[in-house]
Amino acid sequence: MTSLVIAEHDNASIRGATLNTVTAALACGGDVHVLVAGANAGAAAAQAAQIAGVSKVIHADGAQFAHGLAENVAAQVLAIAANYSHILFPATAGGKNVAPRVAAKLDVAQISDITKVDAADTFERPIYAGNAIAIVQSLDATKVITVRTTGFDPAAATGGSASVEAVAAASDSGKSTFVGSEIAKNDRPELTAAKIIVSGGRALGSAEKFNEVMTPLADKLGAAIGASRAAVDAGYAANDLQVGQTGKIVAPQLYIAAGISGAIQHLAGMKDSKVIVAINKDPEAPIFSVADYGLEADLFTAVPELVKAL
Amino acid sequence: MKVLVPVKRVVDYNVKVRVKSDNTGVDIANVKMSMNPFDEIAIEEAVRLREKGVATEVIAVSCGVAQCQETLRTAMAIGADRAILVQTDVELQPLAVAKLLKALVDKEQPGLIILGKQAIDDDCNQTGQMLAALADLPQGTFASKVEIDGGVLKVTREIDGGLETLSMNLPAVITADLRLNEPRYVTLPNIMKAKKKPLDTLTPEALGVDVAPRLKTLKVSEPAKRGAGIKVPDVATLVDKLKNEAKVI
């Protein structure tokens, strides 16, 4: 029994979500291999070989993998899939894009967003925005899985000494081509990997106010910035900052929610945070029911005060 | 060009579901059911493409119990031209739905298939990608913008950290993210009109698809409850608690 983890990387380095996925793979039992499919991704492959618990890194290189196109990455996974009992992807935008393609081609069910491995064929996963936890057993020979990273601790990034094996790259499917991307550049930690997140809601009232109030707090704490769906829908914050059932699922050490009422869809994305602080002037806001520390106050005075007091 | 839009009947997003006392599932008897919100966005996008003259016909499809007809009527009230119900009482999992849709793609030969990115009941986020794989089509998942020029589709996708744009030839599969559009409200005249639009019913057997579940649900339980904490009177107390009690800053 051997598991294959599909690495998330930017060709130069391995992304954090890969480490949590390795932990989930180790829990399935047996050896763990990591696939790095990239373009000039030797550095990422070398880094993957350092991950504790990984016994082999498989490195497929080619320009067709530069942007992680689903058709091409899936073809590469399928080329080596027969060697594996479990194929695990992080449940990131990239992993979610590719994994079902692999599962369908293998004619197996996919087990999405697992939060726990109960046995090699039995997994726990949240359903209905986390309002229920299902324990499911796979009846298929190969288990294709996406791993909710907040459910598993990251494997140590160093200490391993896996061999790196180069394999022939699956050819370009030619089905889709990359045109361009707009990636927000900033020095903040990644939302899904941040230790502290400060999140703003509709109460901020405008994009200007959102920036003016939330940014100093994030800067002071070295935190990532998140937002509720209402704030994103209203255009106060970028789409990829949305925390919730269908946005980012986060579990930082500290989550500060300012002006967020706490719809179940939002709670689904952050209720596993270690410590939750809610700042809201509505005493009935549902966010208070999950907050460790609730401050009933106007965020426009409380947040700047907090920045000063820190 | 035909556009095929699969829609799923799910528990309404405002309903907080309860786990059944025997832990076999969640209790969906007598709760409000609606179209999966992402599928509404998918239908809206297809109807806009027809209104722009890019598409000629919008076909809504649903797989499941007889009551999915209501969901299909809603899709037709938004503007779908006709509907197909693949009726079965078997619990359908994403792979089975993808296979049913593949059979319909073969039959209808649509130029574009638009799905919601995720159903809000099982939260799987699989069906669109699986359909693309089975039909050997390119995929543009988590779409926030769709442009079609000639036979070429440009799709802007929501990815971690921002957006990316891909280009692909039609036919293709798109899955809709939240910001693709804002679905219109259905009006009473359109609801009345939808009642007269054609709705065909098929079965998985007629399509030659085995829909047996591949995942067995052993148990469904309530998540661990998170207790409410305390209210703090002021910012100074909050900072003190975070530093000295929770020790997170």
Q: Which residues of A touch B23 (CB under 8 A)?
A: none
Contact check, Cβ <8 Å, B129/A100: yes
The confidence band for A84, taking pLDDT boundaries of 50, 70 and 90, is very high
Nearest chain A Cα distance for residue B44, angstroms: 17
What integer is the mean pLDDT of B51-71?
98
Whether pLDDT at A187 is above 90 = no
Half-sphere exposure of B83 toward its Cβ, with a 13 Å CA cutoff?
Answer: 28
Q: Could you tell me if A103 and B127 are in contact, meaning their C-beta atoms sit under 8 angstroms apart?
A: no
Which residues of chain B make contact with A302, given a CB cutoff of 8 A? 235
**How confident is the model at residue A16, as a pLDDT?**
94
State whether B138 and A305 contact (CB < 8 Å): no
Judged by CB atoms closer than 8 Å, whether chains meet at A196 and B249 is answered as yes
- Interface mutation target, options A15, A131, A255, chain B, most CBs of B under 10 Å: A131
Tell me if B68 sits within 8 A of B88, measured CB to CB: no
Shortest CB distance from B160 goes to which of A93, A265, A310?
Answer: A93
Q: Residue for token digits 């999915």?
A: B68
A173 to A41, B90, B213, B239: CA distances (angstroms): 20, 35, 31, 55
Contact between chains at A180 and B165 (C-beta distance less than 8 A):
yes
Tell me, yes or no, if the pTM score tops 0.80. Answer: yes
- Chain B hits for A110, CB-CB cut-off 8 Å, are 94-95, 124, 126, 130
Name the pLDDT band for A185 (thresholds 50, 70, 90).
confident
- Kindly list the residues from chain B whose CB atom is less than 8 angstroms away from the CB atom of residue A139: 213-216
- Nearest chain B Cα distance for residue A291, angstroms: 6
Confidence check: pLDDT of B227 > 90: no
B-interface mutation test, from A240, A293, A305, most B Cβ less than 10 A away? A293
User: Given an 8 Å threshold on Cβ–Cβ distance, is B249 in contact with A221?
Assistant: yes
- To the nearest whole angstrom, how far is the Cα of A97 from the nearest Cα of chain B? 7
Chain B hits for A129, Cβ within 8 Å: 120, 123
Give CA angle at B65 (B61, B67), nearest 5°: 85
Among chain A residues, the shortest Cα distance to B153 is held by: A176
Q: Establish how many alpha carbons lie within 13 A of residue B89's alpha carbon, considering only the half-sphere containing its beta carbon.
A: 0
Q: Would you state the torsion angle of the CA atoms of residues B32, B38, B42, B45, taken in this order, to the nearest 10 degrees?
A: 110
Q: What percent of chain A has pLDDT over 70?
A: 100
Quickly count: other Cβ atoms within 10 Å of residue B151's Cβ: 12
Q: Please report how the helices B127-134 and A70-80 are oriented relative to each other, as an axis angle in degrees rounded to 10.
A: 70
Cβ–Cβ of B249/A183 closer than 8 Å?
A: no
The stretch A251-266 carries a mean pLDDT of 97
- Chain B nearest C-alpha distance from A235 (Å): 10
Torsion angle of the four alpha carbons A262, A265, A266, A271, in this order, in degrees rounded to the nearest 10: 90
B123/A132 CB distance under 8 A:
no
**Of A100, A134, A295, which is closest to B220 when you measure between CB atoms?**
A134
- pLDDT of A224 strictly over 90: yes
**How sure is the predictor about A91, in pLDDT bands with cuts at 50, 70 and 90?**
very high
Q: Average pLDDT of chain B?
A: 97
Looking at the predicted structure, is the pLDDT value of residue B228 above 80? no
Once rounded to an integer, what is the mean pLDDT over residues B227-234? Answer: 91
Of A180, A183, A275, the CB nearest to B248: A275
User: Which whole number is the average pLDDT over A121-144?
Assistant: 96
**Between chain A and chain B, how many beta carbons pairs sit less than 8 Å apart?**
257
- What is the predicted pLDDT for the residue at A186? 79
Name the residue with higher pLDDT: B189 or B150: B189
Is beta strand A122-127 parallel, antiparallel or unpaired with respect to A132-138? antiparallel
- Which tens digits make up the pLDDT trace of B73-87? 999 999 999 999 999
Q: CB within 8 A of B68, min separation 6: which ones? A: B9, B62, B85, B87
Give me the pLDDT at residue A193, please.
87
CB contact under 8 A, B123 and A94: no
Chain B residue with minimum CA distance to A175: B138
Closest CA in chain A for residue B217: A136
Instruction: Provide the token pair at A270.
Output: 């952050």
Picking from B16, B138, B167, the nearest residue to A131 by CB comes out as B16
CA distances from A241 to A191, A192, A197, A198, B249 (A): 7, 10, 11, 11, 22
User: pLDDT, tens digit, for every residue of A48-68?
Assistant: 999 999 999 999 999 999 999
Instruction: Tell me the sheet residues that pair with A225.
Output: A198
Residues of chain A found within 8 Å of residue B161, distances taken between Cβ atoms: 183-184, 190, 240
Q: Which chain A residue has the Cα nearest residue B26?
A: A132
CB contact under 8 A, A93 and B142: yes
Q: How confident is the model at residue A167 (pLDDT cuts 50, 70, 90)?
A: very high
Residue B194 belongs to what H/E stretch? helix B188-196
Closest partner CB to B162 (pick from A232, A240, A265) = A240
If residue B108 lies in a helix (H) or strand (E), which one and from where to where? helix B94-108
Grade residue A190 by pLDDT with cuts at 50, 70 and 90: confident
pLDDT over 90 at B54, yes or no: yes
